[in-house]
Copies of this chain bind each other. A is one copy, B any other.
Amino acid sequence: MIIDCHGHYTTAPKALQVYRDAQIAALKDPSRPRAKGVVAISDDEIRESLENAQLKLQRERGTDVTIFSPRASAMAHHVGDSMTSLDWSQHCNDLIARVCALYPRHFVGVCQLPQSPGVPPESCIPELERCVNDLGFIGCNLNPDPSGGHWTSPPLTDRCWYPLYEKMVELDVPAMVHVSSSCNPNFHATGAHYINADTTVFMQFVLGDLFKDFPTLRFIIPHGGGAVPYHWGRYRGLAQDLKRPPLDELIRDHVFFDTCVYHQPGIDLLLKVVPVANILFGSEMLGAVRGIDPETGRHFDDTRRYIEAATSMSDADKQQIFECNARKVYPRIAKALASIERAVA
């Protein structure tokens, strides 16, 4: 089985964006009473949005299940206030739940959190509980910069995040560290802000004692860990100079990188320097890069091919990356996969 740990619903039916546009437009008139409103999307529209996109690519590429969450760039926690964020997150999460109900063999849900700049992260706990307990989700996406490129929140190692981590530990769900769009003109979203956030948070983890306080807390750092594997020597050296634990030890049961690195030499490096137990297969399709690489004739984001072509790693290790590690990091996936397996049997 191949589990893709990183997929967003980037192809959601237009009605979702229509809702969002209206929600944002309504912010301009603060005197107007606010209502959560409805997102009118039929099951057929959901099917249509996936059949020629994620499902087609799953079939073509031979991947089985995608850990699926709302479109990351659209989370835009910096827009409006915490009520804006809550209404929007609930609609997005409900839509993911419908996707998973329609295609239980192909998608397992991860939620968007209703974060808002300056609002304590514990405000997200009820929505996390709803998604995990009521909708059957297995994790969440956590935005380390709800300001959208101004980086006004404390680091993820700050105690203000602890109530949320306590709930994650209690529910036994991990978080993928994932920023959203950037309203800072310096940062292109997928070409700079995403990658910077990955790098930034890794270094926060190196400096902090978060995993002493939460021995079972787990984070996935997407996009192959940002700049980290390329600079693995730098980070090993910094950890050593700063009297921090060796990286392998520090990340062991806590920090995992996905394989969203869109060329063979990058994947080769990742597989070479990062312990196999800390790598989860991911593609982020359809995501940041949708074209075909003229050098290979294949989609840039068809990351399964790079892993299979990597010569430095045994098949058993590859299976760890394709399946076993995801089961370990997202233990709640077992229940979802068991129903698939029953259906197949």
Chain A residues within CB distance 8 Å of chain B: 144-145, 149-151, 153-155, 184-188, 190-192, 195-196, 199-200, 203-204, 206-207, 223-224, 226-227, 229-238, 240-241, 261-266, 268-269, 272-273, 288-291, 293-294, 300-301
Contacts and interface: CB of A to CB of B under 8 A. Distances in A.
A238 B153 CA distance: 29
A153 to B, nearest CB: 8
A289 B239 CA distance: 9
A138 to B, nearest CB: 27
B235 A266 contact: no
B196 A234 contact: no
Contacts of A261: 230-231, 233-234
B290 A230 contact: no
Ranked nearest first, the 6 interchain pairs of A and B with the lowest CB-CB distance are A233-B263, A227-B227, A237-B289, A230-B230, A233-B262, A191-B203
A206 B187 contact: no
Given A234-B288, A237-B300, A262-B233, A199 B186 contact: no
How many copies of the polypeptide does the oligomer hold? 2
Contacts of A269: 230, 265-266, 268-269
13 contacts: A151-B151, A151-B184, A154-B186, A227-B230, A230-B230, A234-B263, A237-B262, A237-B293, A240-B291, A240-B294, A241-B289, A266-B269, A269-B269
A195 B233 CA distance: 14
Contacts of A265: 232, 269, 272-273
A230 B234 contact: no
A229 B291 CA distance: 19
Nearest to A187: B200
A192 B200 contact: yes
Contact of A235 (B191, B203, B224): B191
Nearest to A235: B191
Contacts of A199: 192, 195-196, 199, 227
A305 to B, nearest CB: 12
A145 B188 CA distance: 15
Contacts of A203: 187-188, 191-192
A204 to B, nearest CB: 7
Given A191-B238, A233-B261, A265-B269, 16 more contacts: A151-B186, A195-B227, A230-B261, A231-B261, A232-B266, A233-B293, A234-B263, A234-B300, A236-B263, A237-B289, A237-B290, A237-B301, A238-B289, A241-B290, A268-B269, A269-B269
Contacts of A226: 227
Contacts of A237: 262, 288-291, 293, 300-301
A155 B185 contact: yes
Nearest to A144: B186
Nearest to A233: B263
A145 B186 contact: yes
B150 A151 contact: yes
Contact of A300 (B145, B151, B204, B233): B233
